[in-house]
Amino acid sequence: MSTSLLEVEAINSFYGDSHILFDVSLTVGRNEVVALLGRNGAGKTTTLRSIMGLVTPRSGSIRLDGRAISGLPPFEIARLGLQLVPEERAIFGQLTVEENLRLAALTAPQAWTLDRIYEFFPRLRERRRSGGRQLSGGEQQMLAIARALIRDAQVILLDEPFEGLAPLIVRDLVRISRDLAAQGRTILVVEQNVVAALSFADRVYVLNNGHVAWEGTPAALRGDPALMKAHLGV
Amino acid sequence: MPSTALLLSQAFNGLALGTLLALVASGLTIILGTLGVLNFAHGALFMLGAYAMYVVMAHTGSWLLGLLAGGVFMLVVGVALERVLVRLFYQRPHEDQILVTFGAGIVIVEAVRAYFGGNTKSVPTPSWGQGIVRLGFLFYPTYRLELIGIVAALLFALYLVLYRTSIGLVVRAGIEDARMVGVLGINVRRAFLAVFALGVLAAGAAGMLYAPIVSVQPDMGGSFLVEAFVVIVIGGLGSYPGAVVGGLIAGEIVSLTSAFNTAYSEVMLYAVMALLLVLRPQGLFGSEGRV
Ligand SMILES: Nc1ncnc2c1ncn2[C@@H]1O[C@H](COP(=O)(O)OP(=O)(O)O)[C@@H](O)[C@H]1O
Ligand SMILES: [Mg+2]
């Protein structure tokens, strides 16, 4: 019996011959915000890529709302309501902001309107005719998140949304993430910025060398400086 | 020094050649940009378009029917080629893709030669394109002039498809990052099929339109393929505006140079390409770090 929206069970993922993930298991409940933390190279991105279908785990299972999705191509997984916001953001630089959004909305069964997106991200409305290439890092990240929102994704996988951004922009994005969490969006977020991630997560997994090393609440993690130091270096 | 009339006439020829090169090259460039496949069968498909026009014209005498039936035929050929062959090579190294499309091109050329023979076919100019028009002090063949307009209209139609439709949006995004298009829920493979068929249609349409003013024979696509490659290098790999502007530039270079010395027209084209590659390796409209 399980009520989790996303269930990852003992997956093993590889790049060629290198074994990256070792029996990684995690769950994300409906309306839950889960943070996946760990040092650089721990396998966080690979976990998200495995869930999105960009990497196919050699063993283990991944279920979305009870349905096995591992082995499906990314576009089918996306149509089932899972959306990766990749670390490199992958904005289409030759497309305008609005075209990026329209592209994302094309195959969504219940896409948000552009207006609703622009209410959430007023900055994107101002920039809607700008090419993706002309956006600042913060704007690109907003657009990357907006593409997931316009699809009305059931589960959003955020890979280091605050990486490389100025503190002021990070504050904005943290506020946006909190808003999303408060609206009951289901989010699995990967971050190096532990403090920022803990500020809106309900539950935390710590990944170390491709193994799940710890699982618990943000409060428990904050209360354990030795653990923070050992696995996160903070 | 050639006369002004000759130069002007060559400038018009350059425009006629340039728009056609633009059409062939735009097919080549969207296939390359989206699918990552350099289609060496493109010249053979151009030739196939010319033969389609020849067959329909020979049986019905209708140019419009030739264009429509030829267009449908080219789409079918494009879909079949992608489904049966090219699709299997997306994940393979570029050498394999080049070899397989090159091989497909040879098969098409030799099949046409086997069926129609190797001698030149002539395709009549449609009734409304016969004769010459007077442009000030210059006399210019009517069909060539109309050709410029027709191809410009086709290029504009292609522009509308690429920039004003959903499929165009997917194609342009796919040129940048096909994987991310898939992550956003779009079946890129299906889009790839549409792109390939569209690219083949562009090559075939150029062949159909060009048929009345060239000698139609099985090897006619070879030099066109090479020039189309030069065009997309000049314009920037994968760029539609690059293919159009590059095509016009290449057409003018070839035509104007041959007003001075025919032997140097191709040489001049390569010289300009080489110079451009030194100054701007990504081409006129290409983005850095692509392909
Ligand atoms: N495309 C790839 N090919 C081979 N190895 C990779 C590739 N991407 C990541 N890796 C390796 O996999 C490990 C985990 O990487 P990643 O999941 O990106 O870690 P994280 O996101 O936690 O920093 C690292 O050792 C990294 O070097
Ligand atoms: Mg990472």
Residue B139 pLDDT grade (very low, low, confident, very high; cuts 50, 70, 90): confident
Q: What six digits make up the tokens of B40?
A: 């060496």
Q: Residue A206 C-alpha to ligand 1 middle, in angstroms?
A: 16
**First CA to last CA across chain B, in angstroms?**
42
Q: Is the pLDDT of residue B290 over 60?
A: no
Subunit contact B182:A52, Cβ cutoff 8 A = no
Calpha distance A92→B171 (Å, rounded): 12
**Chain A partners of B186 at a C-beta cutoff of 8 Å?**
75, 103, 106-107
What average pLDDT does range A131-145 have in this prediction?
A: 95
In the chain, the amino acid numbered B48 is: L
Three-state SS string across B144-194, please?
A: HHHHHHHHHHHHHHHHHHHHHCHHHHHHHHHHHHHHHHHHCCCCHHHHHHH
Q: Point out which residues pair with B132 in neighbouring strands.
A: B141
Classify residue B196 as left (phi > 0), alpha (psi -120 to 50) or beta: alpha
Does residue A210 have its Cβ closer than 6 Å to ligand 1?
Answer: no
Q: Is the pLDDT of residue B122 over 50?
A: yes
Is the distance from CB of B234 to CB of B283 less than 8 angstroms?
Answer: yes
Q: Residue A169 C-alpha to ligand 2 middle, in angstroms?
A: 20
Residue B185 pLDDT grade (very low, low, confident, very high; cuts 50, 70, 90): very high
Subunit contact B180:A92, Cβ cutoff 8 A = yes
- Backbone phi, then psi, for B285, in 5-degree steps? -115, 5
Would you state the pLDDT for residue B288? 58
Does residue A38 have its Cβ closer than 6 Å to ligand 1?
Answer: yes
* Closest residue CA from atom 14 of ligand 1: A43
- Non-local (6+) Cβ contacts of B147 within 8 A are B16, B19, B20, B129, B209, B210, B213
- Non-local (6+) Cβ contacts of B191 within 8 A are B34, B167, B170, B171, B174, B181
Q: Point out which residues pair with A13 in neighbouring strands.
A: A21
A71-75, A224-228, B110-114, range with the lowest pLDDT: A224-228
Q: Is the pLDDT of residue A54 over 50?
A: yes
Would you state the pLDDT for residue A184? 85
Helix (H, G, I), strand (E, B) or coil at B247: helix
> How confident is the prediction for chain B on average, in pLDDT?
93
Q: Is the pLDDT of residue A6 over 60?
A: yes
Q: Is the pLDDT of residue B291 over 60?
A: no
Would you state the pLDDT for residue A177? 87
Is the distance from CB of B30 to CB of B173 less than 8 angstroms?
Answer: no
What average pLDDT does range B154-180 have in this prediction?
A: 92
Is the distance from CB of B87 to CB of B192 less than 8 angstroms?
Answer: yes
Please calculate the CA angle B119-B120-B123 and round it to the nearest 5 degrees.
Answer: 145
- For the beta carbon of residue B18, count every other beta carbon within 10 angstroms: 26
Is the distance from CB of A34 to CB of A198 less than 8 angstroms?
Answer: no
**Element containing residue A59 per DSSP (H, E):** strand A59-64
Would you state the pLDDT for residue A230? 81
Give the CA-trace dihedral at A164, A168, A169, A170, to 10 degrees.
60
Interval A182-220: pLDDT, tens: 888 899 999 988 888 998 899 999 999 999 999 999 999
Calpha distance A140→A89 (Å, rounded): 7
Q: What percent of chain A has pLDDT over 90?
A: 79
Measured between CB atoms, which of B166, B177, B186 is closest to A90?
B177
Interval A153-181: pLDDT, tens: 999 999 999 998 989 889 888 888 888 88
Would you state the pLDDT for residue A172? 87
Interval B228-279: pLDDT, tens: 999 999 999 989 999 999 999 999 999 999 999 888 988 999 999 999 999 9
Calpha distance B145→B132 (Å, rounded): 9
> How confident is the prediction for chain A on average, in pLDDT?
94
- Given CATH 3.20.20.70, say whether it is the number of domain A1-81+186-234: no
CA B29, distance to chain mean position in Å, is 9
What average pLDDT does range A222-234 have in this prediction?
A: 83
Residue A149 pLDDT grade (very low, low, confident, very high; cuts 50, 70, 90): very high
Q: Which of A15, A24, A85, A160 to mutate to test the pocket of ligand 1 (most atoms within 8 A of CB)?
A: A15
CA distance A118 to chain B (A): 19
Q: Parse chain A into domains and list their residue ranges.
A: 1-81+186-234
* Closest residue CA from atom 17 of ligand 1: A43
* Domain architecture of chain B: domains with CATH: 4-279 (1.10.3470)
Token look-up 């969207």 returns B30
Cβ-count burial B171-184 (b if 16+ within 10 Å, e if not): bbbbbbbbebbbbb
Is the distance from CB of B26 to CB of B172 less than 8 angstroms?
Answer: no
Interval B30-39: pLDDT, tens: 999 888 899 9
Does residue A18 have its Cβ closer than 6 Å to ligand 1?
Answer: yes
Classify residue A177 as left (phi > 0), alpha (psi -120 to 50) or beta: alpha
Interface confidence (ipTM) of the complex:
0.94
Chain A residue at shortest CA distance from B285: A94
- Say yes or no: A86 contacts chain B, CB-CB below 8 A: yes
CA distance A227 to chain B (A): 35
- For the beta carbon of residue A209, count every other beta carbon within 10 angstroms: 14
Indicate the length of chain A as a whole number. Answer: 234
- Backbone phi, then psi, for A171, in 5-degree steps? -60, -45
**Chain B partners of A52 at a C-beta cutoff of 8 Å?**
183
Would you state the pLDDT for residue A181? 86
Interval A82-124: pLDDT, tens: 999 999 999 999 999 999 999 999 999 999 999 999 999 999 9
Would you state the pLDDT for residue B228? 95
Q: What six digits make up the tokens of A224?
A: 């354990």
Helical residues (DSSP H) of B61-93, grouped into ranges:
63-84
Q: Is the pLDDT of residue B79 over 60?
A: yes
Is the distance from CB of B257 to CB of B11 less than 8 angstroms?
Answer: no
Would you state the pLDDT for residue A1? 42
Subunit contact B172:A95, Cβ cutoff 8 A = yes
Residue A2 pLDDT grade (very low, low, confident, very high; cuts 50, 70, 90): low
Chain B residue at shortest CA distance from A78: B185
What average pLDDT does range A67-89 have in this prediction?
A: 96
Residue among A80, A84, A69, A55 nearest A8 (CA): A69
Calpha distance A153→B184 (Å, rounded): 10
Does residue A19 have its Cβ closer than 6 Å to ligand 1?
Answer: no
Calpha distance A90→A152 (Å, rounded): 19
**Chain B partners of A99 at a C-beta cutoff of 8 Å?**
169, 172-173
Measured between CB atoms, which of A78, A102, A108 is closest to B183?
A78
